[in-house]
Structure 1
Amino acid sequence: MEGNREKRRGIFLTLAGGMCWGISGCFGQFLFQEKGATANWLVSIRLLTAGILLLIIGYIHQGKKLNEVFHKKADAKKLLGFSVFGMLFCQYTYFAAVQYSNAGTATVLQALAPTVILAFVCIRNLKLPKGFELTAVISAVLGVFLLSTHGNIHNMMLTKQALFFGLASAIGAASYNLLAADLLRGYGVYVVVGFGMFFGGLVLCAIVRPWNLMIPLDGETLLALFGVIVIGTAIAFSLYLKGVSIVGAFMGSLLGTVEPVTAIVVSFLFLGSKFQWIDLLGFALILGTVLLLSLRSPHEEA
């Protein structure tokens, strides 16, 4: 009985963390639609502020161990590479996709990351995908086709920018996972993601200089920023990681599909995003790909 209660708690925490990530994209969509924000402005502020917040949480949990990653030159270089080519690239392309479409569409397109990882693994190992993996790839391609054209190859429903940044965000999420894997095993999420966001934010701030873009810092803006930075970062990571520690990585990957579903529902109900039945079919095909590829055993990704 106690074990079942703990498992239900783990499922709840994992789902809550995924939902927080989904809501985060919707807060970003609100800032783009209503406050004139841009991906440059939002991502630079989000990365820098959220990075500091995660590092504070990490220091509370780990103390001075937080800096151990810099004691090994090779790991420090990996961390800096992850900060730019993993964290910054992933976050920027995702919020740019939100800016040019909506949170639901952007989050679903980013969910193509497992397909990108599968392609990378097959190329690296010089092997063809297995039957169910090939089915998953075909499902993903068909889903993107329906989402972007509604079944008519001569009719683009998504803007070129939305499709470009949406697919780029899938590549970004894949590179994020591939570049972070060894570091996460060695140092933990608060060190890797915290410093990754912090350094990525510093780089982007130096390039885009967000202080030059005048955004009205009224109550709505501050609430939306709280949603993106605190709910979508500190709370989301804390809930999700605690839940996964209870239910395991496999169940966590399945429950994580609540993120795009949440983004779709919230952007439809509260932000005026319009979806047709064929969009929902495209969403279902892409999310089905995620579920199917989650059935792979861990050694198949090594």
Structure 2
Amino acid sequence: MEGKKKTGILITLSGGICWGISGCFGQYLFVEKGVTAEWLVTIRLIYAGILLIAMGLILQKNKMWNVFKDKADRKQLLIFSILGMLLCQYTYFAAIEHSNAGTATVLQSLNPLVILVVVCVKEIRHPSKLEVGAIISALLGTFLLSTHGDIHNMSLTGMALFLGLSSAVCAALYNLLSGGLMKKYGVYVVVGFGMLIAGIVMTVLVRPWEYEILWDRETIWAVLGVVVIGTAVAFSLYLKGVSMVGPFMGSLLGSIEPVTAIVVSLVFLGSAFHPIELVGFILVLGTVYVLSFYSGREVKDKEVKKDEAKTL
């Protein structure tokens, strides 16, 4: 059992690392190949969507189509595809285009904070002391990332900061809008069709065939890295790992994604990070880890109480 858990941890971490590397492939395409976020997101959504649907058909057979049989679920899937999937993908890669993979991924990882605010408003309650501390830590981390500690000096462009924070909001929407559907139909159905629908919308708006792209070997490998490694491989590894270690541990291990993006963009892409930025990274990622751990413990405690009530 212990060996199985260790294997699950390694598989889950591998999935998170693939997501982190995906953003770095995107950064390479923006800097070295002149690709735009609009073009890359369109290509990723279309081909990754087709890939995930194909994998779903192999694993789930005809159950893949059940989501279209319910009118309310069809509507929810469409809303998720536009407000969740499309906006989440676009703001994330646009943030990379205007900054770098490490910074964009860290800013997007603030999405649990957005979810916390929504939950507090929905439940009409004040945040707990721990949650207030997490909010302050995240705000301070974001401040250090964007100003290097000098309020009169913006180290990030206003557009980069706006897109990074927008990606956090959109990632929160992604999670909030997809939760019920994923429990009912599974990830391959929701993410696969969500990507494909979003990709079709982007294709109409962007018209990717009109872009002049230099299709050399490096471009092909980088696009495959975004589409295959950052989608099919990442999802497959992460979901397999989570099935072995549980969602609570999986959510904590998922924090390897921004760490990977920082390390890869620093070592392989030549991104330069100010020491103060690294402090900001630690504050933001620490906040995400604490919130994930705290919410995960709450869920486990509730499950334990339910089991005890059933026993009684």
Interval of TM-score (by shorter of Structure 1 and Structure 2): over 0.9
2:41 aligned with 1:43: yes
Q: Distance in 1 between matches of 2:213 and 2:64?
A: 34
2:39 aligned with 1:33: no
Q: Distance in 1 between matches of 2:181 and 2:279?
A: 37
Q: Distance in 2 between matches of 1:151 and 1:177?
A: 32
Instruction: Give the structure 2 partner of residue 12 of structure 1.
Output: 10
Instruction: Give the structure 2 partner of residue 65 of structure 1.
Output: 63
Q: Distance in 2 between matches of 1:300 and 1:264?
A: 34
Instruction: Give the structure 2 partner of residue 93 of structure 1.
Output: 91
Q: Counterpart of 1:298 in structure 2: which amino acid?
A: V
Instruction: Give the structure 1 partner of residue 150 of structure 2.
Output: 152
Q: Counterpart of 1:16 in structure 2: which amino acid?
A: S
Return the offset for 1:101. 0.2
Q: Distance in 2 between matches of 1:122 and 1:139?
A: 18
What are the residue-to-residue correspondences of 1:130-279 with 2, within 5 Å?
130-279=128-277
What is the CA deviation profile of residues 17-58 of structure 1, one whole-angstrom value per residue up to 9, with x for unaligned ones? Answer: 000000000000000000000000000000000000000000
- Which segments of 5 or more consecutive residues in structure 1 lack a partner in the other structure? none
Aligned length: 299
Segments of 4+ moved more than 6 angstroms: none
Q: Distance in 2 between matches of 1:172 and 1:117?
A: 11
Return the offset for 1:151. 0.9
Distance change >3 Å, CA 25–CA 80, structure 1 → 2: same
Q: Counterpart of 1:267 in structure 2: which amino acid?
A: S
2:292 aligned with 1:298: no
Secondary structure, in 3 states, of the residue corresponding to 1:37?
A: coil
When structure 1 is superposed on structure 2, of 290-299 and 226-235 the one drifting more is: 290-299
Q: Distance in 1 between matches of 2:123 and 2:207?
A: 42
Q: Distance in 2 between matches of 1:150 and 1:300?
A: 40
Return the offset for 1:298. 2.6
Return the offset for 1:70. 0.4
Return the offset for 1:300. 10
Q: Distance in 2 between matches of 1:14 and 1:228?
A: 18
Q: Distance in 1 between matches of 2:79 and 2:222?
A: 30
Q: Distance in 2 between matches of 1:281 and 1:259?
A: 17
Instruction: Give the structure 1 partner of residue 285 of structure 2.
Output: 287
Return the offset for 1:299. 8.2
Q: Distance in 1 between matches of 2:203 and 2:26?
A: 18
Identity percentage of aligned residues = 62
Aligned residues: CA RMSD: 1.1
Q: What is the TM-score when the length of structure 1 is the normalising length?
A: 0.98
Instruction: Give the structure 1 partner of residue 122 of structure 2.
Output: 124
Return the offset for 1:228. 0.1
Secondary structure, in 3 states, of the residue corresponding to 2:149?
A: coil
- Which segments of 5 or more consecutive residues in structure 2 lack a partner in the other structure? 303-312
What is the CA deviation profile of residues 203-233 of structure 1, one whole-angstrom value per residue up to 9, with x for unaligned ones? Answer: 0110011111111011000000110000000
Q: Counterpart of 2:63 in structure 1: which amino acid?
A: K
Distance change >3 Å, CA 300–CA 211, structure 1 → 2: farther
Instruction: Give the structure 2 partner of residue 83 of structure 1.
Output: 81
